[in-house]
Structure 1
Amino acid sequence: MDVVAREMLEGLPWELLYADDLVLMANSEEELRDNIRIHNNDNLENGGLDIVNGLTLEKKVDKFGYLGDMLNADCGVDSAVFARIGQAWEKFREMSSILTNKKVSLKLKGKVYGSCVRSCLVYGGKTWAMKATHEVKLERTEMRMIRWICWVSLREKN
């Protein structure tokens, strides 16, 4: 069982490949240096990837942003969900001249919302290990935006 667990700690989420970049995460500086050394050896043997060894660790961070995604040190998705919600609201504000205009049809508003705002809200969501609270936050955000588009208040009843 220890062998299986050890293999699970290698690779994702401890290593993340983005385009031509590689992000390595570790619990200590020594472990990180070992990972760099392993990747250098593996990639030199396979003939190609050059990993620069000029790493200086300045401080431990709880979260960091990379290519539009937020990563937590504890491998949670809180930062990613909050970042996506904020970015979706930014996009909503950019598109508000269409989305909140009473002269624009709901059909067109729906297409604009789906392609611009909702896609921004859920981007990368398939890779998140979401909890129920994260899903609720995303659903509430989406429903608030849709109510705003339709000019419907929470106080209004059917």
Structure 2
Amino acid sequence: MIAYHDALSRIASRLEGSTLSPFIYTVILEEISQSLWETVPWCMLFADYIVLVAETREEEIDGDVNHCIQEGWIKWRAATALLCDRLFPSKLKGKFYRTSIRPALLYGTKCWPVKKIFEHKMKVSEMRILRWMCGHTLVDRIRNQEFRDKLGVAPISRKMSENRLRWFGHVQRKNLAAPMRRVESIIVEGKRSRGRPKRTSDEQIKVDLCSLNHSEGLTRDRGSWRRHIHFRLLMSS
């Protein structure tokens, strides 16, 4: 794998800026991952990405969640001098958070299995960042909503739901023959483990739709769908 990495680095340095770079990158990754491939749609190509779908649930995503949180903190620390400056306007702090820090926290959340612990971790990390941006800690005993109103930041759990619904709309607009739609009809063989079954993505999407009182029919119009699922922060009086 180190040899492959060195080869990719040399090729990338020579083709940097070339319009052929995405194509050549995909061809190389296709060759590297050939031994992992199974029949379509277990392996799918999207532009310059290769998606490998596992048949089991052995691979948990706790590491991905922690990585996103760490990336969010890295973004925050890079701008600490600005975000913790009491003279800097709060609304601009909130705008910086929404455009730079929150996207790092939310990266990949649209495809995560839904677990309350993931949302809780995200919420805790977000509120720590918002409190420190306002110069407060938990000791000050100030409600979370006051920080959100001051900075103009919506709850991250609602933004995670918005990401899921945005991706759901993107998938629903695809043709039924598209690889991402063919995945919906895959039947994974095996025996379910004991205990309450985990909530599936379809079940979570239904919950998200019910919470907004929307239907799947709205997904056909991309612009209208995005307007309907967008969460706007309502300032408390």
Tell me whether the two structures share a fold, i.e. TM-score over 0.5. yes
How far off its partner does 1:17 sit? 3.7
Higher share of residues assigned helix: 2
Q: Does residue 101 of structure 1 match 2:90? A: no
TM-score of the two chains, using structure 2 as the length reference: 0.39
- Structure 2 residue runs without a partner (length 5+): 1-38, 143-237
Output the CA distance in 1 between the equivalents of 2:53 and 2:82.
43
Secondary structure of the residue that 2:140 maps to in structure 1? Answer: coil
Q: Extract unaligned runs of 5+ from structure 1.
A: 1-8, 28-72
CA contact (8 A) 2:128 2:137 kept: no
> For the Cα contact (< 8 Å) 1:77–1:130, is it kept in 2?
no
Q: Tell me how far apart the structure 1 counterparts of residues 112 and 44 of structure 2 sit (CA, whole Å).
A: 13
Q: 1:113 to 1:24 in 2, by over 3 A?
A: closer
Q: Secondary structure at the match of 1:22?
A: strand
- C-alpha distance in 1 between matches for 2:106 and 2:141: 29
SS at match of 1:101: coil
Residue equivalent to 2:120: 136
1:153 aligns with 2:137: yes
Instruction: State the shift of 1:79 in Å.
Output: 1.4
Mapped partners of 1:18, 1:94: distance in 2? 32
Tell me the distance in 2 between the aligned counterparts of 1:139 and 1:133.
Answer: 10
Partner of 1:87: 71
Which residue identity is paired with 1:156?
D
Q: Is the 8 A contact 2:72 2:101 kept in 1?
A: yes
| Structure 1 residue matching 2:132: 3-state secondary structure | helix
Correspondence 1:22 to 2:50: yes
Relative to total residues, which structure has the larger strand share, 1 or 2? 1
What residue in structure 2 maps to residue 123 of structure 1?
A: 107
Displacement over 2 Å in runs of 4+: 14-27, 73-76
**Looking at both structures, which has the greater relative contact order when contacts are Cα pairs under 8 Å and sequence separation is at least 6?**
2
- Measure how far apart 1:20 and its partner are: 2.5
User: Does structure 1 conserve the Cα–Cα contact (< 8 Å) formed by 2:65 and 2:118?
Assistant: yes
* Aligned match of 1:44: none
**Residues 15 and 25 of structure 1 are in contact (CA less than 8 Å); yes or no, is this contact kept in structure 2?**
yes
CA contact (8 A) 1:84 1:123 kept: yes
1:109 is matched by which residue type in structure 2?
K
1:74 matches 2:58: yes
Work out the percentage of aligned pairs sharing the same amino acid: 35
Count of equivalent residues: 104
| Alignment-derived partner of residue 62 in structure 1 | none
Letter matched to residue 129 of structure 1: P
With structure 1 as the length reference, what TM-score do the two structures score?
0.57
Q: Per-residue displacement from partner, 1:58-91 (whole Å, max 9, x unpaired)? A: xxxxxxxxxxxxxxx7242211111100100000
Q: In angstroms, what is the RMSD of aligned CA positions?
A: 2.5
Change beyond 3 A, Cα 1:26–1:152: closer
How far is the alpha carbon of 1:95 from its aligned partner? 1.5
